Structure 1
Amino acid sequence: MSKRSPGAATALVLCVLLPILGACSGGAEAEAQKGGNAKGARGPSQVGFVTVTTTDVPLVTQLGGRTVAYETSEVRPQVNGIVQRRLFTEGSFVRQGQPLYQIDPSLYRAAVNEASATVASARAAADAAQARANRFRPLAQIEAVSQQEYTDAAAQARQARAAVAQNQAALETARINLRFATIRAPISGRIGRSLFTQGALVSANQVEPLAIIQRTDPIYVDIQQSSADLTALRRALAQGGVTPGSTQVRLLLEDGSDYGYTGTVQFSELQVNESTGTVTLRASFPNPQGTLLPGQFVQTRFTQAVTPNAILVPQNAVQRDIGGQAYVFIVGPNNKAIRREVKADRAQGNDWVITGGIRAGDKVITQGLANLRDGADIRPVPANTPQRIAPPPAGQGGGRGKAGGQSKGGGPA
């Protein structure tokens, strides 16, 4: 067997490898050309748009609040004595003037009788003094008695009449104290528990009340709003950027359900709470079923102002740059994407409230925003338009299948 030289062996290997490398290079170029053709065939990206219009957008504010009784009265004794009876059921509804407690009236009834007797005695003395003065008058005219005696008699008659009036006032005071022995409800409402029982000694100067009555229909809701937000609202109203809203208030209960009745804002405080930096707004609500109880935490929702001629844009259409500036893309001439900086004041539900940067009739792009650039070619369609995926032509599909078969066949080779 003859030996081959190293040069001949190298030449043989090159002859074998060159056709294979040429085939692989040709396949790569074909695949690149195919990808380029596919990319060019894809064309402009499809985007969805909405045509915006202007509308009046309410500034809906949701704030927390506490319920407060419409009227509150502490039942207190105005005389001293022992409580004989409690005349009401705890937790029941009482009416103004209804008896609640009975204090032992014995001393006050005796005081009335004493004052009554004193008045009768004073009236008798006054009658006698007046009769004496009447007798002295003609005698003084004929000088049967001195003028000084008649003057003294007339003065004594007037003093007697004054004593009658004084004792009459004392009698009225005694009667009032006797009436105060029966403690009555000062207002109509629901009364709480009794803090004193039968047999307790009460006095007019005691600290604790006997019971508390609260009127809860209607009922107040005290709403706390930041003074900074209120100042901004007043400035916007003064500049004409917004118009005043409604005074109607909706109420959300602690479980998130709607209260059902609509309330009305009555007034706002004229000072800021130094510890919280808030201003109190008071609203009034009907409460016929007694659903709301004093001290309950609730959420209020009301329209403080209305932004006229604003535009609502879906939140996903509004983007922000690194500086925080809001912007949107709109459909421009020749189906170009145009970037517009907008003034997005606040969110309203699932939309942004836009007050500048776009106009009614603009087509704002809301779908297909990924990698979208200013000036890019687009194919705009109305938002949420279903995409149609059609099968490729028969000839093209067969060619791809055939090419794929060759690729799979050539891969292992």
Structure 2
Amino acid sequence: MVKVPFSLSTRLIGAALIASVFTSACSNESATQEQGMPPSLVEVQQVETARVQESSEFVGALEAQERVQLRPETEGRIVSILAQPGQRVEAGTPILILKSDVNQAQVSGAAADVSAAQAAVNTARARVQAAIAERDRAAADVELQTTEYERTAQLAAEGAQSQQALDQATNRRNTAIAALRAAEDNVGVAQAELNQAQAQFDRAQADQAVARSNLSDTEINAPIAGVVGNIPVRVGDVVSTQDVLTSIIQNQVLDLNISVPIERADQLRVGLPVELVDNLGTPLVNGEISFVSPEVNTTDQAVLAKASFPNDGNLKDGQFVRARIIWESGPGILIPTSAVTRIAGQTFVYMAEPGEPSPDGQPQMIARQQPVSLGSIQGNNYQVLSGVEAGDQVITSGVLNLMDGAPIMTGPPGGPPGQPGLEQPPG
């Protein structure tokens, strides 16, 4: 006894089963033709060459490329809301206005300090000027007394003046020099006081600038251009620096993070086309891969890729979507999924072909069962690898009621019967 391998025996059994199906179908065709079974109403579609894609589907959530949460820089009460959720704004657009009594008081106090410091500077400057004037008078007096001393000394040497007159001239000169030194010291003290007053004035101005800046923080502006998100606060609410007032979302382009299995990593590249599809697989938005991570996630052995999609306003930040990466695309054959039947694991379609004329001599079409090899599903269509060619007439409706060789007539489902094998004229 010869042992047949399991896989070979399985193929032999399948072939025998298919052969029995065709034998039964042929006998059914003969019986159908002999018994004069009425033709079935079906729809027929001519097969055409279409673009076939090799793709993989992924699910994820869309993310805005830039999103900013707005928080107040200072505590305050909301007195005005100037924007609406969903409104598109430019950078710098006022969104909310806060009122802070503390900041206003700080601004007022800082302004008073600046005024006081300015007055102190003016007073110190006046003292410097007075001290300089006094020093100049003292210097002039020293010059005068020195001249007098020199004249008296000459006359005393000639015997024209007494020693007492010389002593008095010497004393006046020394007094003038001492007064000049005191005046110069006063100028130094006054200048130091002016410098101190000027420093105090500079500090007061800096404090005033900070207070004004804090006051301006009560106006919350959009830091970027985008769409205003939800505004959970209301006029009259008191908010702190930890509260989120709203968000600005830049959603002209949305990104989708995709974890691609490592087996496909060699096919990933920037610019690879990606489609967002609905539940039926119908393409909605076209995008492309904009980023491929240079490393592999060791946990799930996947490569992170980012796909970017233009947004016409229908896509939302955080929205869950189905995305299809198109690995390859080329010409091929597609047929509707409704045209496919399965028997014993084998896939078939019914082809509309000319049959024998009816007893009254009219032309007649029949359904011819054709085995096919199928590829992946694209939307509502199967890719056909073999068994069907462009130009074939494939039956797309009513296939469950057909058998090989059964007479058919074409027309819209549920419509009135047409001539066997002829399409109903448009009415």
Equivalence map 1:251-262=2 (5 Å): 251-254=276-279, 256-260=281-285, 262=286
**Residue from 265, 275, 293 that aligns with 1:250:** 275
Distance of 1:91 and 1:304 partners within structure 2: 36
> Are 1:171 and 2:208 matched, yes or no?
yes
- On the 8 A contact 2:271/2:290 being kept in 1, the answer is no
- On the 8 A contact 1:245/1:304 being kept in 2, the answer is no
Report what 1:181 is aligned to.
218
**TM-superposed deviation, 1:159:** 2.2
Report what 1:34 is aligned to.
none
Report what 2:175 is aligned to.
none
Q: Aligned Cα RMSD in Å?
A: 3.9
Letter in 2 for 1:150: V
Distance of 2:262 and 2:84 partners within structure 1: 45
Equivalence map 1:261-410=2 (5 Å): 262-273=286-297, 275-288=299-312, 290-303=313-326, 350=383
**Residue from 89, 92, 96 that aligns with 2:91:** 96
Report what 2:347 is aligned to.
none
> Are 1:125 and 2:149 matched, yes or no?
no
- 5+ unaligned residues in a row in structure 2: which ranges? 1-51, 140-179, 335-374, 394-427
Letter in 2 for 1:249: V
Tell me, what secondary structure is at the counterpart of 2:257? strand
- 5+ unaligned residues in a row in structure 1: which ranges? 1-56, 235-243, 315-345, 353-365, 368-381, 387-413
Report what 2:253 is aligned to.
218
**TM-superposed deviation, 1:304:** 5.6
TM-score (norm 2): 0.50
Distance of 1:264 and 1:84 partners within structure 2: 45
Question: Residues 256-295 of structure 1, C-alpha deviation per residue, up to 9 Å, x if partnerless?
Answer: 33224x324322234444554433222322213x111112
- On the 8 A contact 1:130/1:157 being kept in 2, the answer is yes
| Structure showing greater relative contact order (alpha-carbon pairs closer than 8 Å, 6 or more residues apart) | 2
Tell me, what secondary structure is at the counterpart of 1:97? coil
**TM-superposed deviation, 1:59:** 6.6
Distance of 1:114 and 1:383 partners within structure 2: 88
Structure 2 CA distance for partners of 1:254 and 1:155, relative to 1, 3 Å: farther
Tell me, what secondary structure is at the counterpart of 1:156? helix
- On the 8 A contact 1:245/1:305 being kept in 2, the answer is no
TM-score (norm 1): 0.52
- On the 8 A contact 2:89/2:226 being kept in 1, the answer is yes
Distance of 1:70 and 1:385 partners within structure 2: 48
**TM-superposed deviation, 1:114:** 2.0
Letter in 2 for 1:256: G
* Count, aligned residues: 256
Structure 2 CA distance for partners of 1:313 and 1:190, relative to 1, 3 Å: closer
Letter in 2 for 1:267: F
Distance of 2:254 and 2:320 partners within structure 1: 13
Distance of 1:275 and 1:172 partners within structure 2: 53
**TM-superposed deviation, 1:80:** 1.0
Tell me, what secondary structure is at the counterpart of 1:199? coil
Give percent identity, aligned residues only: 27
Distance of 1:296 and 1:203 partners within structure 2: 30
Report what 1:44 is aligned to.
none
Letter in 2 for 1:283: A
Report what 1:84 is aligned to.
79
**Residue from 79, 104, 109 that aligns with 1:114:** 109
**TM-superposed deviation, 1:188:** 3.0
**Residue from 234, 241, 249 that aligns with 1:197:** 234
Distance of 2:392 and 2:277 partners within structure 1: 38
